[in-house]
Every structure is written in C-alpha cells, then in structure tokens.
Amino acid sequence: MRSLILVLIGLFVGFAATLIGMNALRQGTAYPNGVMAVMGAQMKGLQSSLKQNRCSASDLTPRLQTLRRLGNDLEPAFLPTQDDERFVSHASQLRAALDAALAAPPADCTAAGVVVDRIGGACQDCHRDFKN
C-alpha cells in the first residue's frame, strides 16, 4: 500500500513538472510565433487583394502599415539568435521595403505586384538563414 502511494506521488510530481516545463516552452515562443503569424496573415491578405485586382491604397496601405509596425518587433521577439548582426540586417531590409512601399503607394496592380514581391523576398531572405 505504502509503495503504491509513493508510486502515485511520483507519477503526479512527474506529470506536474512536465506541465510546468511545457508551459514555459510555450511562453518562450509565443511572442516570435505571434509576430510571424500576423505577418503571414497580412502577407496572405495582400496576395489575395492582388488576385482580386484590388490594388488601391485603401486596399493595401493598412496591411503595409501593420507589417511595418510589426517589423519593429522582429528583434525584440527573436534576439538573441546565432548571428544577430545578420538577423538585424534582414529585419532592416524588410523595414526598408515596407517604408518604400508606404512612401510611394503603388498606382496599379502591376506596381503593387512588384512591391509585394519585394516584401516577400525580404521575408524569404531571413527565413533562408534563420527558419529551420
């Protein structure tokens, strides 16, 4: 009876420790995952606007603004990495692409396509180096 109780206590402590550990891991990745999830959603939104031929400033600007503001959260969410300098340079490249897009809103869908491709390229450059 005594050993059975000890085994049950052992199982319970192990279970509780696992839960605490899993929770800590999840909290550690919630911020970076959240930044990327919203960026991904906004990028999809831009692409579907293009597909539907909706390329006016009012279609695109709010998404570009969200992406630009989130761009400020790249370093706080991900640093330290294995190569911070490189990460910061990729992040700056994305911010520059978004600044350019916001400063000179594309006039039509062809121009918007070029802008969105450039932004997507900046996403991919960083993913190539940092996303496994």
How many residues line the site for ligand HEC (CB under 6 A)?
Answer: 21
* Whole-number Å distance between alpha carbons of 128 and 82: 14
Residue number, 2 or 51, with CB nearest to ligand HEC: 51
* Residue among 36, 59, 73, 111 that touches ligand HEC (CB under 6 A): 36
CA of 32: how far to CAs of 63, 67, 72, 75, 109, in Å? Answer: 19, 14, 12, 9, 31
Determine, following the binding rule CB under 6 A, whether residue 97 of this chain makes contact with ligand HEC: no
Write the CB contacts of 116 (distance below 8 Å, at least 6 apart in sequence): 43, 46, 47, 50
Give the interface segment with ligand HEC, choosing from 11-19, 31-39, 47-55, 100-108 (CB under 6 A).
Answer: 31-39
Q: Residue 127, Cα to own-chain centre: how many angstroms?
A: 10
Interaction site with ligand HEC (CB under 6 A): 29, 32-33, 36, 39-40, 43, 67, 74, 78, 87, 90-91, 94, 119, 122-123, 126-127, 130-131
